[in-house]
Amino acid sequence: MLPSKPSASKQSSALAEPVILGIRTVQTAVNVNDTIGEALTALRARNIDHPVVYVYAVDDDDRLVGQVPTRALLFSPPEAKVRHAMRTELTTIPSDMPLGEALEIFARRRLLALPVVDSEGRLLGAIDVEMFARESLERAERERVRQVFETLGLSIEGEESLTPLEGFRMRMPWLLCNIGGGLLCAVIAWLFSDLLESVVWLAFFLPLVLTLGESIAMQSLAISVGIPPEKRTLARALRGLRTEALTAVILGLVCGAIVAVASLVGSAGGAGALTMFAAVAASMAFAAVAGGAIPLVLHAFRLDPSVAAGPVALVVADTATTAVYFTLGLMLLMPAAAPAA
């Protein structure tokens, strides 16, 4: 059974922190009782080290009462009061609001900045579009890293609280999956022991062929896992597999040609080069289809394809690549031989 997926509350622990921890100090607040001329003089006297997005109006107790449009500051008479030029319609964020909720409001309102106030309405600071963009990128990066780790059979959530026994129980099933795949590859190699004794250089290139198969399988797996669950339809799945297979064929032909040339340099001969070319191209195409299909199979059985599909894909890619490699070697290099029983 696949490990349970980390809860949403754990995944968003960073976004549950209060917004007050990430706000920027507002250096463009003016007193509501000042005139426009006095407000401009006060702003010019300050060493403002961030872009001026909005000018806020506060009362004598630093309570936020409005926002002064830049146009009003520039074109209102100097003797006009700030209170007469400001707008009172404001969207504010309480200081104890979770950062995730604040970012959602920011995205929904499409403003350049949102003021943050305490329980009494005093202006504490603001989150601006720069912070919104930074937090959104970090949020996306955290989610990407989380998915990568889960694909490999690991969870980065709550790792510090795991005991050694809990860590063992979480990881060992997938290591057993890898051990099983490795033993299966060893059995396949043993079946072709006569071939390896006659053509020793095949063993030298096996790690390279396995690496290429594993790489293309994990790439296809990552693309397949990245499809949102609500969009995983059969038509889209088949279309995606077809695209991955054709892409893998092109990649396999290019990589196979490179490996074939390398085998020629290693005195493998024309038959050896043809074997390497065919083995790399065929194994990469199969591994790509396997990597893309495994998440779909897991999803069909109502299992989370983002959790530990990686080890399964690697086992399938390794065993298939080993079998294809030695079978093609037997057909092209020793047509009269048969695998050892």
Give the CATH number for residue 110. Answer: 3.10.580.10
Q: What is the DSSP string of 27-79?
A: --EEETTSBHHHHHHHHHHS---S----EEEE-TT-BEEEEE-HHHHHHS-TT
* CATH number of the domain within which 312 lies: 1.10.357.20
Does any domain span residue 147? no
Q: Could you count the other beta carbons within 10 Å of the beta carbon of residue 38? A: 16
* Closest-CA residue to 209 (of 73, 67, 75, 318): 318
* Closest-CA residue to 208 (of 166, 255, 171, 172): 255
Which residue among 77, 110, 134 closes a domain?
134
The confidence score (pLDDT) of residue 154 equals 52
Record the tokens describing residue 29, joined without a space.
Answer: 């607040």
Dihedral over Cα of 155, 8, 162, 156: its sign: positive
Residue range(s) defining the domain that contains residue 191: 166-333
Rounded distance between C-alpha atoms, residue 194 and residue 273, angstroms: 20
- Residues 245 and 97 both lie in one domain: no
The confidence score (pLDDT) of residue 340 equals 43
- Residues 183 and 227 both lie in one domain: yes
Rounded distance between C-alpha atoms, residue 221 and residue 292, angstroms: 5
Does any domain span residue 161? no
Does any domain span residue 13? yes
- Residues 187 and 130 both lie in one domain: no
The confidence score (pLDDT) of residue 139 equals 62
- Residues 128 and 173 both lie in one domain: no
Does any domain span residue 151? no
What sections of 117-231 are H helices per DSSP? 129-151, 164-191, 193-198, 201-225
- Residues 51 and 94 both lie in one domain: yes
Does any domain span residue 90? yes
* Closest-CA residue to 282 (of 324, 245, 311, 250): 324
Exposed / middle / buried, residue 183 (Cβ in 10 Å: 0-12, 13-18, 19+) = exposed
Rounded distance between C-alpha atoms, residue 169 and residue 134, angstroms: 37
- Residues 119 and 174 both lie in one domain: no
Does any domain span residue 149? no
The confidence score (pLDDT) of residue 226 equals 64
- Residues 56 and 173 both lie in one domain: no
Does any domain span residue 317? yes
- Residues 183 and 93 both lie in one domain: no
The confidence score (pLDDT) of residue 195 equals 82
Question: Which H or E run contains 123?
Answer: strand 123-128
- Residues 180 and 82 both lie in one domain: no
Which residue among 79, 113, 134 closes a domain?
134
Which residue among 134, 149, 177 closes a domain?
134
* Closest-CA residue to 113 (of 136, 97, 89, 131): 131
Distances from the Cα of 319 to the Cα of 24, 236, 245, 260, 306, angstroms: 55, 27, 18, 22, 22
- Residues 121 and 170 both lie in one domain: no
The confidence score (pLDDT) of residue 32 equals 92
Q: Which residues pair with residue 55 across a beta bridge?
A: 68
Q: What is the DSSP string of 99-113?
A: HHHHHHHHHHHT-SE
- Residues 127 and 190 both lie in one domain: no
- What are the pLDDT tens digits along the chain (341 aa)? 333 344 333 444 445 555 555 677 778 899 999 999 999 998 888 888 777 778 999 999 989 999 998 888 888 899 999 999 998 888 888 888 887 777 778 777 777 788 888 888 899 888 776 666 666 556 655 555 555 555 555 555 555 566 778 767 766 776 787 788 888 888 988 888 888 777 888 888 888 888 888 888 877 877 776 666 656 666 777 787 788 888 888 988 999 899 888 888 765 677 888 888 988 888 888 888 888 787 777 767 766 555 556 777 788 888 888 888 888 888 887 754 444 43
Domain count, the chain: 2
Does any domain span residue 230? yes
- Residues 229 and 291 both lie in one domain: yes
